[in-house]
Amino acid sequence: MGTMNRALFPKQLQDGLNTIFGLEYKRYPEEWRACFDVENSNKAYEEDVLVVGLGPAQVKPEGGPVAKDEGGESWVSRYRNETIALAFALTQEAEEDNLYGQLGAKYSRALARSMQHTKEVKGASIYNNGFDAAHPGGDGVPLFSTAHPLWNGGVLSNMLPTPADLSETALEDAMIRISLFTDDRGIPTMHQARKLLVHPSNTFEASRILKSTGRVGTSDNDNNALKTEGYLGGGVAVNHRFTDPDAWFVRTDCPDGLKHKKRIALKRGIEGDFETGNMRYKARERYTFGHTDYRGAFGSQGGGS
């Protein structure tokens, strides 16, 4: 690792500077938290296994035996924890001779920004790659698919069959399809939409759709059913690391959906070298993002995809 010395900061060794900028910016709140549930992890990797229940009960004929059924384990979703870290070093002289505040303190804040940015990118990538067959889940298909295989031989969809931009009509379609989710034996499950996740370009459209009293963009006197019926009580969450401006997603209340596994919380360390006097700064954490039950989200690539 290279060490930052005085040659890299010549202007800060003399009087006369008016402003030093580039390291101090406001940060968005942790946007990944709206997209995932958090679980602690205590192993190198964690596995979630789908356990399939029983099918519908059968009519028992008079005098005949009762029908028997069986469930069992199905596919497995694996979460492999990664180590995320970054460090920098400063010479003792660079710290001593800087006239505009401690370099170590300034770059420590920059280090925190870098760690958060990486975490945001990794979290958003689960959604950004959610339609890509090269990133399958435990069931062998992407997070968002029209053909999630079921134990009973059927398939289940958690995306619009025809990609559509965010609109009142498209979102209502998503609500209907979420209400038609079933378990792996075809028994309906009561999943409800919880939060709408959008790219910044959809911020205002999402607000109009969820907060307008009447239907959006029409002269009709109809009420806004999404608002009236209380759908998406968690509101809208904007994610600045979503890469497709047309794509939008809905998180549901599925108990084991999209997860952030936290192995080791963020830790920062500072140490000095006796021989050189240089100071070394490091930040490190271990975690992973992924999904278990795809029913935890519904998505659309948008009409422009």
* Spans of all domains in the chain: 79-300
3-state class (DSSP) for residue 194: strand
d(CA 211, CA 214): 9
Residues 149-161 have pLDDT tens digits of 999 899 999 999 9
Tally Cβ neighbours within 10 Å of residue 95: 17
In the predicted structure, residue 35 carries a pLDDT above the cut 90: yes
Give the global pTM: 0.87
CA angle, corner 35, sides to 33 and 38, nearest 5?
55
Rounded to an integer, the average pLDDT of 170-181 is 96
Percent of the chain with pLDDT over 70: 87
Q: Indicate the pLDDT class of residue 93, thresholds 50, 70 and 90.
A: confident
HSE-up (13 A, CA, CB side) for residue 18: 0
Residues 187-243 have pLDDT tens digits of 999 999 999 999 999 999 999 999 887 766 565 657 778 888 788 889 999 999 999
In the predicted structure, residue 111 carries a pLDDT above the cut 90: no
| Spatial CB neighbours of 34, under 8 Å, sequence gap ≥ 6 | 195, 197, 234, 237, 239, 251
Task: Output phi, psi for 55, to 5 deg.
Answer: -85, -175
Look up residue 173 and give its two tokens: 């379609």
Sign of CA dihedral 266, 48, 174, 140: positive
For the chain, the average pLDDT equals 87
**One-character DSSP codes across 160-218:** -SS---S-HHHHHHHHHHHHT-B-TTS-B----EEEEEE-GGGHHHHHHHHH-SB-TTS
pLDDT reported for residue 23 = 47
Look up residue 179 and give its two tokens: 């209400």
149 near 50, Cβ under 8 Å?
no
Residue located via tokens 């028992």: 60
pLDDT reported for residue 179 = 95
Residues 261-297 have pLDDT tens digits of 999 999 988 888 888 878 888 899 999 999 999 999 9
pLDDT reported for residue 180 = 96
In the predicted structure, residue 24 carries a pLDDT above the cut 80: no
Look up residue 128 and give its two tokens: 């950004």
Look up residue 196 and give its two tokens: 């709408």
